[in-house]
Structure 1
């Protein structure tokens, strides 16, 4: 069970909730904060104080005072009017993360919502009723208004949800689970949608997948090192210690660990003096991407436990401040950084693929073909990898450098953080396919060299992957191999059992 406090949610806990369906609970102290915060809102309404979002309009309408009789209608109108998301829905795992993060933010006790709202979000999580949230339509300030409005619709019994393996009307899921729609009270609609939980939810799923992918890239690069009889000296600890980057040192150590005992790697001067950069510089390039991933992790862990509502309620309602914590710039920049970092795993991988298939760069059969000329072998797999790498270069253009004013220039600078997060997700999927292609080529190369000469760890990995992708004995529809291996990599992630059997990644 994962107990939320609003202060200490971790990425590992998100992995447990989103990928392992862990049950979620709320800490008692957090619920007390929620109750006190709600009492403050009710006091403000009773005293007829004019506070943004409680009894005023929104955005450019912030100067319009709303009659006390209409404050509930104000919240309902807000959700319905702001549910303008378009396009394909976020993956269901992202929707689940969105629920979790919004719940964690609300229980910090600065948003003024009723315990009933918190309890419903908790029920949705534990019953696995996940909002269908269109991906497009958020500017990333004032938070993720459109996506979170689609999440809020579900509390009203409206919209659509993922439920029991299918997409259906929220009302259908509610009927089966015996739930009734909630009527929003003062401030609750705004509290549900003013935040960065769509971009952050997409961001944490991105990071979890990218972290796994980064480890996988090292296993696959180790196979390529053996397939090309790479020079192991490039990973000597002294080389990396004098550079000073810990992530580079760590990659080099893991590469030495993976390749320990291999009779396929060579020493400096044995077959050649030095390797091409795509082999020799694996620790430097992969290590730099790890540095970026560490930065992204730090920002996500802060944002996951942040109060991103507006206005925020302090001192039992004595102090209510309209600020800008909903602005997604910290996550927007982090996601743009992630895009560049993850794209590089594919960029260098594609260059290793070229070295595996190009007969001018190795002594293997051209394109690893079983009958060069009659059969093309891996020739076009390299084309696919090059195409994906090129697409990533376009997607890696930073979204955060753009801003378009909205709400009649009241909201005149926005983050585009959700666009950055969505593009990062696409890059990650592309990178996984490129790595799958490298893996298929490297498997064939080491088989030609002699698998009995492989390191114990890479040999174990080889045996497992060969169950997914058979040897290339004749041309076939390689798209099916690529997709099958891609799916295997995604499901197994870096926690492939062989890692625990054969090497520590601590």
Structure 2
């Protein structure tokens, strides 16, 4: 671990956030941030001693905002809110997502507008640095007034309650603190509210979705190019001149990638003068379809990075005489792009399924169902059933959660974002997309085999060879779920993209662009 990130003063990117979670970068609080944190904490103390009513410091919460709390009870109020708001249900979220929640919460609080104690933030950083990750149930947030339930569970361990994962084992938080000779914290005024107000549950799912969808988009172009080679499609629709006439960023980027991937292919040049006028849309319109999904990804990335460096607390403490109860905790700014990105991810699956179907039809010189002995063998008939099932499941997940709102808190919170649902649904769609892409890769590699002895380009041939190291050419029927599982592992463990990247670097081929990166 060589690099350091300064919470509260440095700009946090998606890539840096993921690096902190992976232990590649260490997040610390420098002197400037500590000064701002301490100043805000002291302003809250002034509010308590002056007995001026300020929401969540010396009043109740939600519809109890008019109920005054005595100075003596302001600390008890903060521990009570963690306990009473811990109402999450369902399976625990992935540990990486919970760790991203911790990281993004420190970044928000370290800016010095929340009245958090420096010692409390250091304890949160201890959890991050030691990979002792709170157990957070997946359901229960409506995405406004903060992700209250999941954030409450996230910070129960600070007061010795709840559960944590240590070395992957779920343990009572109090026992783990004792083992490390740590005492539960006694929260000061405003601290409990500062910890649970915010969008960090939504944000953590958005961060991970940006990474996963970025990888899926890169694979879509690579696998799509392999499918096009298998189907002897044309690279002419990727000519930069036509995309300059309709210059969407994502479309131009995908067209350039596809043109580069196919430039110099023996397969492609072998049918340059054929009488096929134009290809089906799933081949010809890859720049437009993959590119539209890239535009959605770019929008999500830009908004996620704004949220990464925002203060989403309430009330915001400027000083003891200037506190504002606003709505920075409302998840709508991320809920909408998360829903949009869900559709974008689903569309990558839809067009991939169409290419699988196209390769099974027995057109363009390919054998029906990509087998030479159809009848006795079903060949690749049924894997496309699985892609059909998965794309339909994805369609059912595309209803925007942000289009709904259920009033809560006795009507005080009368419009909520449901962005937490948006974030979780997006990952479900990406889960399905990864299997769809594995199946398209099975089809594309098999289709390319029937074009031998002609070869494609260096990058595509490297990918074909990588696949054949894990899944042999199909001669007779076998249990294809095993092939699908092997290819799913290949694309989700990073090996597939790494192979493409290595081949591109080795041959001085540029396949990426900074604008579409996460750092």
Please, what TM-score do these two structures have when normalized by structure 2? 0.94
1:412 maps to 414
Q: In structure 2, do the counterparts of structure 1 residues 70 and 398 end up closer, same or farther at CA, with 3 Å as the change threshold?
A: same
Structure 2 residue corresponding to 1:99, chosen from 102, 105, 128: 102
Q: What CA distance in whole angstroms lies between the structure 1 residues aligned with 2:99 and 2:476? A: 43
User: How big is each residue's C-alpha offset from its partner over 1:267-291, in whole Å with a ceiling of 9 and x where there is no partner?
Assistant: 5651411000000000011111111
1:252 maps to 255
The answer to which of 470-479 and 83-92 deviates more is 470-479
Structure 2 residue corresponding to 1:308, chosen from 298, 307, 312: 312
2:332 maps to 329
- 3-state SS in 1 of match to 2:431: helix
Tell me the CA shift for residue 20 of structure 1: 5.0
2:297 maps to 293
Structure 1 residue corresponding to 2:388, chosen from 386, 389, 400: 386
1:284 matched to 2:288:
yes
- 3-state SS in 2 of match to 1:63: coil
Task: Tell me if the contact between 1:213 and 1:493 (Cα under 8 Å) persists in the aligned partners.
Answer: no
2:503 maps to 501
1:46 maps to 49
Q: In structure 2, do the counterparts of structure 1 residues 339 and 466 end up closer, same or farther at CA, with 3 Å as the change threshold?
A: same
What runs of 5+ residues in structure 1 fail to find an aligned partner? none
1:116 matched to 2:144:
no
1:442 maps to 444
Mapping 1:134-283, distance limit 5 Å: 134-265=137-268, 270-283=274-287
Task: Tell me if the contact between 2:7 and 2:27 (Cα under 8 Å) persists in the aligned partners.
Answer: no
Tell me the CA shift for residue 236 of structure 1: 1.0
Tell me the CA shift for residue 495 of structure 1: 4.7
Task: Tell me if the contact between 2:81 and 2:193 (Cα under 8 Å) persists in the aligned partners.
Answer: yes
Task: Tell me if the contact between 1:451 and 1:459 (Cα under 8 Å) persists in the aligned partners.
Answer: no
The answer to which of 93-102 and 485-494 deviates more is 485-494
The answer to which of 76-85 and 24-33 deviates more is 24-33
Q: What CA distance in whole angstroms lies between the structure 1 residues aligned with 2:391 and 2:347? A: 9
1:26 matched to 2:29:
yes
Q: In structure 2, do the counterparts of structure 1 residues 270 and 362 end up closer, same or farther at CA, with 3 Å as the change threshold?
A: closer
Tell me the CA shift for residue 451 of structure 1: 6.1
The answer to which of 87-96 and 273-282 deviates more is 87-96
Q: In structure 2, do the counterparts of structure 1 residues 497 and 317 end up closer, same or farther at CA, with 3 Å as the change threshold?
A: farther
* RMSD between superposed Cα atoms in Å: 1.6
Tell me the CA shift for residue 368 of structure 1: 1.5
Q: What CA distance in whole angstroms lies between the structure 2 residues aligned with 1:22 and 1:462? A: 35
Structure 2 residue corresponding to 1:77, chosen from 77, 80, 95: 80
What runs of 5+ residues in structure 2 fail to find an aligned partner? 514-519
Tell me the CA shift for residue 357 of structure 1: 1.1
Q: In structure 2, do the counterparts of structure 1 residues 2 and 483 end up closer, same or farther at CA, with 3 Å as the change threshold?
A: farther
Task: Tell me if the contact between 1:355 and 1:362 (Cα under 8 Å) persists in the aligned partners.
Answer: no
User: How big is each residue's C-alpha offset from its partner over 1:463-504, in whole Å with a ceiling of 9 and x where there is no partner?
Assistant: 122223222233222222222322321220775143143132
Tell me the CA shift for residue 397 of structure 1: 0.8
The answer to which of 484-493 and 299-308 deviates more is 484-493
Please, what TM-score do these two structures have when normalized by structure 1? 0.96
Count matched residues.
504
